Amino acid sequence: MYSFSDLIKRTAVRRGQRRLAATLLCGAMLGIATGVLTSLPASAQTQVPATSINMRMLVVSADGTEPVLAGIKSILDQLNVPYDVLIASQTPLTASTLSDGNGNGYYQGIFLTTGNLAYDAGGGNWQSALTADQWQTLWQYETTFRVRQSTLYTYPVGAPDNYCLSMPNPQGTDTNTTPVNATLTTAGKKVFSYLNPSNPVSIQKAWTYLAQPGTGGTLTPLLSTSSGNPIASICTYADGRQNLTITTDGNPDLIHTLSLGYGVINWVSKGVFLGERHVYMAPQPDDMLLDDDLWDVALHTTNSNLSYRVSGPDYNKLIQWQSTMNAAHPNNAKITLEIPFNGVGASGEYQNDTLTPAIKKNDLPFRWISHTWDHELLTGMSYADSTNELAWNNTQAKNLRLVKYFKDSMIQPEISGLDNPYFLQAAWDFGIRYILSDTSQPGWNNPSPNTGFYSTYVTGLLIIPRYPTNCYYNVHTPAEWVDEYNSFYGPSGTMPYWDHNLSYAEILDKESDIWLRYLLKYSINPVMFHQANLYPYDGNNNVMGDLINRTLAKYNAISTLPIVSLAQHDIGVRMASRMAYNNAGVSARLILGSTSSQIQVTAANSATNVPITGVSAGTTEKYGGQTISTITVSASSTVTVAGPAW
């Protein structure tokens, strides 16, 4: 279980100072002459031709405090795109920052947190973090190396550039009160090809400038309001430079930041970069074959006299629910539950057991994973008892004839045993390679996106972080969930947050917003539920399914990317691969030719799965209309593959 306060407090961007900074810098900036500089004079052009570019991005920040800085870093990290951050008010930008002066560039794309890089130099003295000469140096590099730029939060008037925009009556809007809806243009549908063009992009909780087309170059709107205000646009200058301009603020948790982020990075990189993306969903309802205590809506507490265990008919309803969900939208087609089971529940412990024969008759719709034999906590368990818990459950998997089952993966009861060396050694010796942690517990969230931990007790045992939910283990009807949820977060709850007790629809809305962010952040982590959540409370629907359906409705309204649904075994394989790649010291360089290029990939340590989006080499996959390649690079060696036209 987690608190909403940390997440929701992060979703509102700071507006006042940045808005003031933009206004103070309208028309002129300290060190920059009044007017708009749209192209480089011929005398400023370098005479050294570009021969190569590092496949690395540069993010330039004014002072390191901009919310959009955290936003772009978050998305680059999730994609695993290499980048550097330059805090321009602290470290001067020079020609040697960008290239060696002999035709070898250090960055294939540039991101500016704001259009003018304004910051408070002290006492309300707002100025640009770049001098006029530094702006010229940046533009010269972009021209010479044909490198694209994006300004992530842009005031569309004044120095150093208006980015092909104007605002004759300076205005903006606080979308905390009134969201701004913007629609993809024809050009925008190409840049943001993964967004659902049938629905507008909703801008909320961020100050937004409502600009108009201006001068200085050729404007190509990508995302516009009904009044013709370009929220996202491309400005093409006479010297060939291009900038993708966004006029709304953002941060790592705002839906519009997450929705637009990939398209911005992909455009700046010209569709070729180190890294990759997939959208993932892996629900895991624990405790199958056991019963769970239930929440008592009369007593407002868990009541051990009330319990629920999935029955055979309920199990068949779950199959129907998954089938209906898969068929509801193309993005949903591959989503598959992975069911953690406790084999003791199929050993005759329950009278009139209809669940066990139902599973034996039809296990194929689901994946299956061991949850130990009888759900005993592993915190202080001996080596021998731990081995028995695993062996007995594995035998039961064979008895149940579970086809989609991996012996090398398990889920610990209540995520216990992470500090028990006897259990961990027993698990390894038995053949377990992938276990779980709980992201809500201190120190057990992903150390970096889509990575986990190797056990400090048993080398090689990978611990995969899993998200909890506020769909509690002991609720099997909407009424129970509403009552327990409000006992925590209602105005009279133990952790009061909301100003009123939420309805079932409101709870689904809040919880699905959180899960939606997991999807839009390309997070691979599985998500925890429990078997009580699978009860068909109205004959067809279950509370877990209601939350999944609500999340998918929001996701499918935004994105056209199909959801990848993996077994914990496969999550572990991908997570381990990413961790190995992160530790391999991989770098890449575009070698530029007159009509084409090559990519040289080098690794300090052996890397078996180096991801490159936008080229075909090694093992390839088509996803979201792009090719994702994975190649192998031996230690201290270089692999060359065909690159794009640059």
Q: Taking residues 55-63, what's their average pLDDT?
A: 98
Counting runs of H as helices and runs of E as strands, what totals does the chain give? 15, 36
pLDDT digits (tens, 9 = 90+) for 141-175: 999 999 999 999 999 987 899 999 998 776 788 99
Q: What is the pLDDT of residue 308?
A: 98
The identity of residue 272, as a single letter, is V
Q: What is the pLDDT of residue 159?
A: 83
Based on the fold, state whether residues 348 and 290 are members of the same structural domain: yes
Considering the domain boundaries, does residue 261 fall inside one?
yes
Based on the fold, state whether residues 263 and 357 are members of the same structural domain: no
DSSP strand E in 12-108: where? Answer: 52-54, 57-61, 83-87, 104-105
Based on the fold, state whether residues 615 and 536 are members of the same structural domain: no
Q: What is the pLDDT of residue 169?
A: 74
Asked if the bond preceding 491 is cis, omega within 30° of 0, the reply is no
pLDDT digits (tens, 9 = 90+) for 134-143: 999 999 999 9
Q: Taking residues 3-10, what's their average pLDDT?
A: 34
What single string gives the DSSP state of each residue in 265-287?
A: HHHHTTT-EE----EE--EEEE-
User: Using 50, 70 and 90 to split pLDDT, how confident is the model at 109?
Assistant: very high
Q: Taking residues 91-119, what's their average pLDDT?
A: 97
User: Using 50, 70 and 90 to split pLDDT, how confident is the model at 47?
Assistant: low
Q: What is the pLDDT of residue 596?
A: 81
Based on the fold, state whether residues 637 and 560 are members of the same structural domain: no
DSSP 541: -
DSSP strand E in 555-625: where? Answer: 563-564, 586-592, 597-603, 607-613, 619-623
Based on the fold, state whether residues 321 and 382 are members of the same structural domain: yes
Q: What is the pLDDT of residue 20?
A: 37
Among 221, 240, 270, the domain boundary falls at 270
pLDDT digits (tens, 9 = 90+) for 558-598: 999 999 999 999 999 999 999 999 999 999 999 998 778 99
Domain span at 599 = 585-642
Among 204, 235, 270, the domain boundary falls at 270
pLDDT digits (tens, 9 = 90+) for 269-303: 999 999 999 999 999 999 999 999 999 999 999 99
How many Å apart are CA 85 and CA 64, to the nearest integer? 9
Considering the domain boundaries, does residue 537 fall inside one?
yes
41 pLDDT more than 60: no
Considering the domain boundaries, does residue 63 fall inside one?
yes
83 pLDDT more than 50: yes
pLDDT digits (tens, 9 = 90+) for 316-355: 999 999 999 999 999 999 999 999 999 999 999 999 999 9
Domain with residue 483: its CATH number is: 3.20.20.370
Considering the domain boundaries, does residue 575 fall inside one?
no
Based on the fold, state whether residues 47 and 193 are members of the same structural domain: yes
Q: What is the pLDDT of residue 36?
A: 39
Give the CA distances from residue 288 to residues 292, 412, 622, in Å, rounded to whole numbers and listed in that order.
Answer: 10, 13, 36
Nearest-CA neighbor of 283 among 515, 572, 559, 539? 515
Based on the fold, state whether residues 344 and 409 are members of the same structural domain: yes
Q: What is the pLDDT of residue 16?
A: 41
Cα dihedral across residues 85, 189, 511, 505: positive or negative: positive
How many Å apart are CA 462 and CA 409, to the nearest integer? 10
Based on the fold, state whether residues 532 and 619 are members of the same structural domain: no
Based on the fold, state whether residues 323 and 397 are members of the same structural domain: yes
Q: Tell me which of 252 and 33 has the higher pLDDT.
A: 252
What single string gives the DSSP state of each residue in 221-270?
A: EEEE-TT--EEEEEEE-TTS-EEEEE-B---TT-HHHHHHHHHHHHHHTT
**Count of CB atoms within 10 A of residue 46's CB?**
16
What single string gives the DSSP state of each residue in 287-338?
A: -BTS-EEEEETTTTEEEEEEEE---HHHHHHHHHHHHHHHHH-GGGTT---E
DSSP 60: E
Contact between 111 and 57 (Cβ < 8 Å): yes
Q: What is the pLDDT of residue 531?
A: 98
Q: What is the pLDDT of residue 429?
A: 98
pLDDT digits (tens, 9 = 90+) for 432-451: 999 999 999 999 999 999 99
Considering the domain boundaries, does residue 356 fall inside one?
yes
Based on the fold, state whether residues 261 and 173 are members of the same structural domain: yes
Q: Tell me which of 36 and 263 has the higher pLDDT.
A: 263
Considering the domain boundaries, does residue 123 fall inside one?
yes
Q: Taking residues 456-472, what's their average pLDDT?
A: 97
Among 520, 544, 570, the domain boundary falls at 570
Average pLDDT, the chain: 92
Q: What is the pLDDT of residue 170?
A: 62
Considering the domain boundaries, does residue 576 fall inside one?
no
Q: What percent of the chain has pLDDT over 90?
A: 88
How many Å apart are CA 26 and CA 160, to the nearest integer? 9
Based on the fold, state whether residues 34 and 151 are members of the same structural domain: yes
Based on the fold, state whether residues 212 and 360 are members of the same structural domain: no
pLDDT digits (tens, 9 = 90+) for 177-227: 899 999 999 999 999 999 999 999 999 999 999 999 999 999 999 999 999
Considering the domain boundaries, does residue 610 fall inside one?
yes
Contact between 525 and 466 (Cβ < 8 Å): yes
Number of domains in the chain: 3
Q: Taking residues 63-79, what's their average pLDDT?
A: 98
Domain with residue 38: its CATH number is: 3.40.50.880
What are the structure tokens assigned to 202, written together?
Answer: 């909703």
Contact between 264 and 152 (Cβ < 8 Å): yes
